[in-house]
Structures are given as structure tokens and as C-alpha cells.
């Protein structure tokens, strides 16, 4: 990928986009760029945070290992999204591990640099808070889903988030492995399979990583319907 393209993607990221031009340039000039292969570890839980990470291409999963060995996927990031903000500025260990789930290109901003820029211009603090808030919000949304929705409903919401259409039918591509989707939604791959087949009567056809939704609104109604009235 061309160097300039990478910078352009980084500029559009939630973390940087609201910053003044000269701050972005300074950050970009000190950023470290790296390529990761599929399956490669980006950092490990308990490791001390030294940078904030912005995904330029590919997919990254954040996950936690329970003492039992069970893996819980916390979030999945792609192009333009950043992670590690809240941790990097506090010299505390990461609460999660990060792994490339596809080949990835990632930009790292060293945290001392961020801290010093922040002392010059508190606006950067607000930017960091902004993307941290986005994560907070998405975690809250996930908690709500896990606590208040059935498996099939969570899958329905996942599909809905892949499309930006408001009504009518559409086709979407599943962005990553079904195993990872299952993990992200807090279920086993077998349950995901069953959830997909339970969505057939609502007008969802799955073929490989390709999904056809007959009627977005019908799917949305299903996702928001009370589980007891089905």
C-alpha cells in the first residue's frame, strides 16, 4: 500500500480527524507503521501499553483469556478504527490481547508523544476521549445485546450493522470468519449456524460469506421483537 494512502486513511480515523492539521502532521511523522500476518499477535494482555494503534487495513480482534482458558472476543476493529487509547496514556497493562485476524497494516503512535502533544494542546485529550467514548459505547451496546437478546437476535443485529440501507432488500458480505463472528456475538460456531437457519423464515439466506436479506425492515422487527412473543 502506498505510503500516502496510509496517511490518508489515518487522517480519516476517529482519533485524528478532529485535530488541527499541524498536530496530525507531527503525529504522523513520529508514527510507526507495521504489517502483520494473519494470526500474528499485536500485544498481549498484561503487557504494558506503549502506543495507540490505528488500523489502516485488515481486521484486528481484541480478546480476553479467562483463567479457565475460554476466550472472550471483546471487539473487532477495521480500517480507520483505533484502540488502546485509554491504556496508553496511563502506563497500565492492557486488559485485553490483540491479534491480527487477517493480514493487517497498523500504525502505532508512541504514547509519550501523545502525552507531550496533549500538554501543548488539550484538544488532543478531547479527541482521545472521543474515541475512548466510542469504545465505551460499543461495549455498553454489546452488554445490552448479550443480556437482553437471544442468539438469533444478536445475529440479526450483526447483519443489520453490515448494511447502511434503511428499507428494502440487500446483500452483504460477512466481513470475517464465522468462528470469529460467533465469538464476537458470545456463542459457539454451532449456535451461530442454528441462528442463521432460524433467520431463514425472516428472509435471510446465507451462502458462504455472502448474505441476502430479503427485507431489512422485517429483519429489524425481528431483532427488536420481544423474545417471549415469538
Binding site for a copy of itself (CB under 8 A): 64, 66-74, 85-87, 89-90, 92, 95-96, 118-119, 122, 125-126, 128-130, 132-133, 135-137, 139-144, 146-149, 186, 224-227
Residue 188 binding DNA, by CB under 7 A: yes
Candidates 12-20, 25-33, 50-58, 195-203; binding stretch for DNA (CB under 7 A): 195-203
Residue 197 binding DNA, by CB under 7 A: yes
Nearer to DNA, 6 or 153 (CB): 153
Nearer to DNA, 86 or 206 (CB): 206
Give the Cα separation of 132 and 216 in Å (integer).
Answer: 30
The grid cell for 130 is 472521543
Nearer to a copy of itself, 37 or 221 (CB): 221
Residue 223 binding DNA, by CB under 7 A: no
- Burial (CB < 10 A; 0-12, 13-18, 19+), residue 120, is exposed
Q: Which residues pair with 99 in a beta bridge?
A: 41, 61
Residue 101 binding DNA, by CB under 7 A: no
Alpha helices by DSSP H, listed for 67-215, are 85-88, 111-120, 123-148, 151-162, 178-184, 189-199
Give the closest residue to 40 by CA, choosing from 97, 122, 93: 97
Nearer to DNA, 192 or 219 (CB): 192
Q: What is the DSSP letter of 198?
A: H
- Least Å from the CB of residue 119 to a copy of itself: 5
Candidates 26-34, 58-66, 88-96, 182-190; binding stretch for DNA (CB under 7 A): 182-190
Q: b/e map of 58-96 (b: 16 or more CB within 10 Å)? A: bbbbbbeeeeeeeeebbbbbbebbbbbbbbbbeeeebeb
- What backbone torsions phi and psi does residue 9 show, to the nearest 5 degrees? -65, -45
- Residue of 30, 64, 79, 194 that binds DNA (CB under 7 A): 194
Q: Which does 194 bind (CB under 5 to 8 A by kind): a copy of itself, DNA, none?
A: DNA
Stated as kind and residue range, the H or E segment containing 7 is helix 3-12
Which residues sit at the interface with DNA, rule CB under 7 A? 150-152, 177-179, 186-197, 206, 209, 227-228, 230
Amino acid at each position: 500500500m502506498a505510503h500516502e494512502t496510509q496517511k490518508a486513511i489515518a487522517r480519516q480515523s476517529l482519533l485524528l480527524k478532529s485535530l488541527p492539521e499541524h498536530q496530525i502532521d507531527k503525529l504522523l511523522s513520529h508514527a510507526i507503521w507495521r504489517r502483520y500476518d494473519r494470526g500474528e499477535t499485536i500485544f498481549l494482555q498484561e503487557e504494558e501499553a506503549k502506543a495507540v494503534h490505528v488500523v489502516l487495513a485488515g481486521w484486528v480482534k481484541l480478546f480476553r483469556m479467562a483463567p479457565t482458558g475460554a476466550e472472550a472476543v471483546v471487539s473487532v476493529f477495521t480500517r480507520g478504527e483505533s484502540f488502546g487509547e485509554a491504556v496508553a496514556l496511563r502506563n497500565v497493562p492492557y486488559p485485553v490481547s490483540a491479534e491480527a485476524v487477517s493480514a493487517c497494516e497498523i500504525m502505532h503512535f508512541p504514547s509519550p508523544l501523545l502525552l507531550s502533544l496533549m500538554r501543548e494542546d488539550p484538544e488532543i485529550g478531547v479527541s482521545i476521549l472521543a474515541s475512548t467514548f466510542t469504545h465505551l459505547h460499543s461495549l455498553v451496546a454489546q452488554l445490552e445485546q448479550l443480556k437482553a437478546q437471544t442468539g438469533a437476535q444478536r445475529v440479526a443485529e450483526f447483519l443489520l450493522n453490515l448494511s447502511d440501507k434503511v428499507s428494502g432488500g440487500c446483500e452483504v458480505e460477512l466481513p470475517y470468519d464465522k468462528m470469529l463472528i460467533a465469538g464476537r456475538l458470545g456463542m459457539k460456531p454451532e449456535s451461530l449456524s442454528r441462528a442463521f437457519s432460524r433467520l431463514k423464515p425472516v428472509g435471510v439466506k446465507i451462502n458462504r460469506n455472502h448474505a441476502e436479506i430479503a427485507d431489512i425492515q422485517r429483519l429489524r422487527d425481528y431483532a427488536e421483537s420481544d423474545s417471549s412473543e415469538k
